[in-house]
Structure 1
Amino acid sequence: MRSAAESLLARTDPAGEGPDPEALLAALDQYLLFAEEHASAYVALMRSGVGHDAEVAAIVEDTRARFVARLAGRLGLAELTPRVRLALRGWVGFVEGSSLDWLARRDLPRDELRDLLAQLLVATLMAVDAAPPTAA
């Protein structure tokens, strides 16, 4: 599990610094590709594995926290207010839930899901008065 989590984190770590919409899209592409390539394990983990094993749950929560920290860092949010932290954590949960539905139905192209997730991140950031990524 740790190895898979580290692999996912490495694949979704965009190059460069600061807010970059293209880097976000690339990271989301890699996340969805990872979920697709490991669909059975991803679904099993997200649907049931977390609740049954404390060590697995800790790895998943650590991965989520690292995604939130990475997003905050890319946005230049040195100190997260509880409101922004919760919004980013909620968005990560939305990505997970949407990925599960997408893997089950496959009724939307991956690039359309990626774009939807990116748009929802911008909307989430706007809702908490955080700076969304802007085009260069």
Structure 2
Amino acid sequence: MEASLQLFSHRSPENVSIDDVAVAAGASRALVYHYFGGKQELYIAALRSAAGQLSDLLEPPTEGRPIDRLRISLSRYFDFVEDHAAGYTTLLRGGPANRSDEVGEIIDGVRQLLLDRILLALGGDDPGPILRITLRCWMALVETAALDWLERRDVPRAQLERLLVDQYVVLLHVAGRHDPALAALFEQVAHEDPG
């Protein structure tokens, strides 16, 4: 599994063969087929493993202000993005041509995990529709920014992470115009952030 994760992290799935995985793992081709059945099954297993790693990385910090915990989690997310650049890019840009429903389920599962972690940091787990939409929009913004950064790298990563945190605060502010409860949440977050 570790060998396949390394290969899928640096090359698109279309450019990784079972033979490549077998050689990288120091195993026979037959053994890889025995455990995984084929390249698509191996790719799904690798994605599940990567999603598990990301879940562990994004275990929310328990100390500090919510905005600082968000900064830490975002930095960990970008560590993952950078360490798995090719696989991350391939996954979010559509993956292999024969992309299965399982791949979509894994991606949706990671997105739901991120949403749950953000809600936990905000002190709740039952968002109203305005907060839910706002947070999902911010998550899409983070994914898009990560893809752009991987492609161009013309903004220092630390600056990009600060920009994304600032955009999070601004989105909460705008959402507060549409939901009074969010206005109070924005005040809490904005007053915690000295910068």
What code does the residue aligned with 2:117 have?
R
Report what 1:94 is aligned to.
141
Query: In structure 1, which of residues 25, 28, 31 is the aligned counterpart of residue 77 of structure 2?
Result: 31
What code does the residue aligned with 2:164 have?
L
Contact 1:50–1:56 (8 Å) recurs in 2: no
Query: In structure 1, which of residues 93, 100, 108 is the aligned counterpart of residue 155 of structure 2?
Result: 108
Give the deviation of 1:135 after TM superposition. 4.1
Report what 1:59 is aligned to.
106
Distance 1:110 1:100 in 2: 12
Give the deviation of 1:127 after TM superposition. 1.6
What code does the residue aligned with 1:65 have?
Q
Give the deviation of 1:26 after TM superposition. 1.2
What code does the residue aligned with 1:61 have?
D
What is the aligned residue count?
Answer: 136
Query: In structure 1, which of residues 16, 39, 42 is the aligned counterpart of residue 88 of structure 2?
Result: 42
Aligned-partner SS, 2:70: helix
Q: Which piece of structure 1 moves more, 8-17 or 105-114?
A: 8-17
Q: Return the TM-score normalized by structure 1.
A: 0.90
Residue 59 of structure 2 is aligned to residue 13 of structure 1: yes
Query: In structure 1, which of residues 82, 98, 101 is the aligned counterpart of residue 129 of structure 2?
Result: 82
Q: Return the TM-score normalized by structure 2.
A: 0.64
What code does the residue aligned with 1:32 have?
F
Q: Which runs of 5+ in 1 are unaligned?
A: none
**Per-residue displacement from partner, 1:12-60 (whole Å, max 9, x unpaired)?**
2232168522221111111111101110000000001288221010111
User: Which structure carries more relative contact order (alpha carbon 8 Å, separation 6+)?
Assistant: 1
Higher alpha-carbon Rg: 2
Q: Which runs of 5+ in 2 are unaligned?
A: 1-46, 177-181
Structure 1 residue runs of 4+, over 3 Å off? none
Give the deviation of 1:97 after TM superposition. 0.5
Contact 2:61–2:72 (8 Å) recurs in 1: no
